[in-house]
Structure 1
Amino acid sequence: MELFRSHCYSIYCNSLWSRYKVATLNRLKVCHNDILKRLLGLPRWSSSSLAFARNGVNNLDVIRRHSMFSLGSRVELSTNSIITSVRQSAAYVWGPIQQRWLGLLFVQNVG
């Protein structure tokens, strides 16, 4: 599990992803799930959720939410004048990255 954590948790700059197709992200999730199953010697059709839960590792959605929350918190708490200026701009407040963060951090149940 340490191998999985060290190599599959580090998806650099994923908190800045704002434009991607849902199909692309779904393919990435399948690859992420398959890596864990292969490391555990599980069949490809076995439950990914169960494999993640039993082994105490985060799935891709959790990793992405954590990265986004971490970066967002650092931006909000920064006293750097450049970051403060960007943070107060309309491009930041209404931009695609901020909208993606809000969409992932505050998941709404529909139905």
Structure 2
Amino acid sequence: MELFRSHCYFIFCNLLWSRFKVATLNCLKVCHNDILKRLLGLPRWSISSLAFGRNGVNNLDVIRRHSVFSLKSRVELSVNSSIISVRQSSAYVCGPIQQRWLGLLFVHNVG
């Protein structure tokens, strides 16, 4: 599990991904799930959420939310004048990355 955490938790710059097809992200999730199952010796068709839960491992959605929350918190709390300028710009406030972050951080219940 330590091998999985050290190599699969830190997906390079995942919090900056704003332009991708949903199908591409779904393929990445399948690969992520399959890697864990292989490491555990589970069949590919076994339920991923059980494998993640029983082994105390975060799934890809949780990893991405943690990454986004961490960066967003650091940006919001920064006193660096350059970061403050970016934070106050319309590109930051209304841009595609901000919209993606909000979509990841806030789950909308329907019904």
Scaled by the length of structure 2, the TM-score of the pair is: 0.98
Between the aligned residues of both structures, percent identity stands at 86
> Superposed, which structure 2 residues align to 1:68-87 within 5 Å?
68-87=68-87
Q: Kindly tell me the number of residue pairs found equivalent between the two proteins.
A: 111
> Superposed, which structure 2 residues align to 1:84-99 within 5 Å?
84-99=84-99
The separation in 2 between residues aligned to 1:12 and 1:79, in whole angstroms, is: 25
Corresponding residue SS for 2:35: helix
The separation in 1 between residues aligned to 2:61 and 2:32, in whole angstroms, is: 10
Other-structure match for 1:54:
54
Q: Which runs of 4+ in 1 moved over 4 A?
A: none
Other-structure match for 1:63:
63
1:61 to partner: Cα distance: 0.2
Confirm or deny that 1:102 pairs with 2:102.
Answer: yes
Q: Where does structure 1 lack aligned partners over 5 or more consecutive residues?
A: none
Q: Where does structure 2 lack aligned partners over 5 or more consecutive residues?
A: none
The separation in 1 between residues aligned to 2:76 and 2:60, in whole angstroms, is: 24
